[in-house]
């Protein structure tokens, strides 16, 4: 389902979309026009509206209003219909809607309701059916006050159109103030709003005639070693009319212990905790796209495809999505994408592509995987490998290097742990990805991941990068990527 080059191409293409460039939601590859091909069918597909298939909205309305309800008014705040309370307000889920590639605008609705009630002050206000409209730059709500429903209220102006859809500024409207019960709320800054939307994975590119194998190989073709080697994963995953004992006769049958096709999968991984904190705390952004989803402090990559051989203890899987790190003040613009896991026995490698403005460096063996305790057995058609430790390779370390001080992360430095789940049975239910990238816990639905960050071992801490060591900030951050771009250009 995932495209090898789309996650990388999207990061640059989406920057041209002024309305929602580098947004925090998952923008489909077709929306940015990153898919190569004839102008006919592909161009028409790129212009078609792309549905929203999931996502969440985090908003607390107004902190001072929540405090008023629960203290001065001696009331209560309750949630229903799928909404949840959080430390900073509320989460509304099950997003539906669409993205329009022609206008670069998004409309999305979220399930859930929140009710503010005070018997002492005699009011009850319920907010439900929250929707966002990036064209109108509004949060639209159905409001029921004291039993009277007012639909389609332009409740808050939202600062859509920036570098992300995380922590967007909101301003309450006059209609919101009236329904909340006080004109003083008009034009008052509301709580920050964060939206995370999910879209269908991009379609797999059609194989070229010269590279594709026949859809239904004949017995003679299947018996030929060369024909078997060129078969696509989907062909090798279904029994072929091969002769008994031939190499292709058992390549896809679970009963024989051969390779099985991965039908879906998720990977939870945050790359490097201290690097994320450095970029985000310093004022930069980390933007997931094209199948990667941000939730909390980490990320999840979806659309897992590949093969699993439980008998041979081998796994080869590719996941959709990319993470773009941007910090203009230090010249950082770096995208990690096309993430793959190649595992065999006790060892494995995490491979990815890295893009900078100077170009793309593909197929980097970024980190080693410690699979000494891994159990490759599936349960109900699902394999789960949690809290897999990773360590930077020489190539992974070099991705953070500069010509002055070298890499801020030496070879062997621990990167974030990996959690992955893959299914090989069409009827299997893929469990939710474990929380964070450190192992323990689980998170609710949507293929997203949240919770605590993974331990990252002994390394230069984010605090040193940001505060106490100015030399590291200058040479180990800005110079890292400026020099890296020069080096990539020279290569």
Distance of CA 119 to the CA centre of its chain: 43
Nearest to 45 by CA among 151, 190, 200, 161: 200
* pLDDT higher than threshold 90 for residue 350: yes
Find where tokens 């990977």 sit: 267
Percent of the chain residues past pLDDT 90, beyond the cut: 46
pLDDT tens readout for residues 154-178: 999 999 875 568 889 999 999 999 9
Six-digit token string for 142? 């159905």
> How far does CA 67 lie from the centroid of its chain?
33
CA atoms of 268 and 391, how far apart (whole Å): 16
Q: Is the pTM of this model over 0.75?
A: no
Domain boundaries, the chain: 6-198, 260-490
In angstroms, the CA 67 to CA 191 distance is 13
Using one digit for the tens of pLDDT, what is the confidence trace for 112-161? 999 999 999 999 999 999 999 999 999 999 999 999 999 999 999 999 87
| SS3 (DSSP) at 289 | strand
pLDDT class of 188 with cuts at 50, 70, 90: very high
Q: Is the CA virtual torsion 108, 186, 20, 167 positive or negative?
A: negative
Compute the average pLDDT of residues 227-235: 34
């Amino acid at each position: 389902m995932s495209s090898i080059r789309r996650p990388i191409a999207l990061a640059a293409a989406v920057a041209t979309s002024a309305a929602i460039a580098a947004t925090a939601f998952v923008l489909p590859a077709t929306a940015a026009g990153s898919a190569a091909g004839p102008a006919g069918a592909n161009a028409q597909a790129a212009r078609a509206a792309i549905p929203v298939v999931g996502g969440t909205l985090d908003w607390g309305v107004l902190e001072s209003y929540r405090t008023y309800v629960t203290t001065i008014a001696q009331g209560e705040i309750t949630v229903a219909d799928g909404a949840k309370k959080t430390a900073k307000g509320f989460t509304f889920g099950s997003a539906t809607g669409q993205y329009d590639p022609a206008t670069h605008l998004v409309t999305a609705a979220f399930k859930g309701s929140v009710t503010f009630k005070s018997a002492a002050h005699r009011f009850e206000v319920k907010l439900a059916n929250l929707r966002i409209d990036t064209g109108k730059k509004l949060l639209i709500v159905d409001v029921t006050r004291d039993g009277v429903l007012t639909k389609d209220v332009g409740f808050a102006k939202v600062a859509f159109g920036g570098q992300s859809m995380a922590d967007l500024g909101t301003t309450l409207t006059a209609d919101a103030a009236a329904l909340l019960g006080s004109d003083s709320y008009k034009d008052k800054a509301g709580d920050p709003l964060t939206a995370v939307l999910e879209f269908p994975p991009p379609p797999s590119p059609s194989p070229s005639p010269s590279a594709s194998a026949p859809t239904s190989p004949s017995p003679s073709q299947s018996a030929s070693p060369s024909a078997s080697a060129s078969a696509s994963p989907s062909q090798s995953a279904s029994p072929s009319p091969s002769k008994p004992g031939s190499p292709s006769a058992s390549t896809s049958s679970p009963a024989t212990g051969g390779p099985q096709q991965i039908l879906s999968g998720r990977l939870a991984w945050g790359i490097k905790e201290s690097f994320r904190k450095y970029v985000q705390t310093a004022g930069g952004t980390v933007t997931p796209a094209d199948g990667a989803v941000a939730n909390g402090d980490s990320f999840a990559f979806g659309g897992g495809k590949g093969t699993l051989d439980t008998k041979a203890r081998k796994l080869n899987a590719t996941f959709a999505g990319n993470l773009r790190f941007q910090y203009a003040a230090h010249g950082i613009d770096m995208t990690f994408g096309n993430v793959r896991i190649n595992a065999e026995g006790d060892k494995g490698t995490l491979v990815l592509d890295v893009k900078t403005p100077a170009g793309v460096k593909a197929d980097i063996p970024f980190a080693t995987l410690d699979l000494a305790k891994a159990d490759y057995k599936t349960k109900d058609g699902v394999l789960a490998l949690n809290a897999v430790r990773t360590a930077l390779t020489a190539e992974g370390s070099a991705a953070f290097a500069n010509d002055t001080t070298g890499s801020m992360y030496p070879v062997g430095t621990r990167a974030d742990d990996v959690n992955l789940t893959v299914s090989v049975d069409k009827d299997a239910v893929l469990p939710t990805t474990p929380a964070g990238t450190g192992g323990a816990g689980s998170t609710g639905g949507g293929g997203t991941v949240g919770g605590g960050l993974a331990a990252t071992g002994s390394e230069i801490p984010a605090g040193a990068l940001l505060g106490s060591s100015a030399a590291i900030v200058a040479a180990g951050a800005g110079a890292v990527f400026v020099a890296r771009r020069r080096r990539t250009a020279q290569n």
